[in-house]
Structure 1
């Protein structure tokens, strides 16, 4: 079974409300094909601190982040955390639906986590640096506009409601 090491205290993780929704949906949809990783992703989302997309610190790994990390074998890697359809190991794009992808999501620079690979071996990684994609401000602006629109619209506010009987 693929899992983060339960005997070691897990570090605090932060996930945006947007990533939380997409990752929770992804985990639920992946249970048939990848039950172990899907369960671990769901577990990580369950313990994450969920914040507004604009409130996620810049040094926290989110979807689309470019992450430099060091493994327990002293190997240093630089990867982009992506959704499964965008994954391409030859271009250093790692799916969040892999054991290492699940381990990275929500970590901040300087944090470490112990995780178990598909082969059952435990590994430890430490995040060194995190870079956000260039389109992050545009995505956050869209999320802010969407959230503002949702707050403004309440049932009965539009002209499409049928007239009410007096």
Structure 2
């Protein structure tokens, strides 16, 4: 039996186990996978993150949290899609109005593919939680009914909105 093949198999199995096991309690990152989000953002002092390549400003705190003393304070809360849209329309964060729900591509661009639980760069989003996050994108399901898409920040995968509530990150165009 080829030892290199066996070593590759064991390495692949361990990687699969780390990324799929419900026993994983904290963020796990594989150094063998290139990072996808490092140095993409410019951190602002007001809790926002500027992404110059896309011209987007993200607010680093989740719904239910506030930017206070250089960090996100409070507890992230899930909310309905209608409440998420209402909140985005009214809120002023980092001195700006005009916040919105990100489309699915924008939201998934935050995924750090070398990590799980959460699959995000916690240097930029330190308080993000593994869970389902609302997007402003939908697809037609088999009944030609729109289904809202979400990103599961446990592993970065796009999912149909199977739940009545989700977490919220907001973005605005600059």
Q: Give me the TM-score of the superposition, normalised by structure 1.
A: 0.22
Task: Identify the structure with the greater helix proportion.
Answer: 1
- For the pair shown, the structure with the greater C-alpha radius of gyration is 1
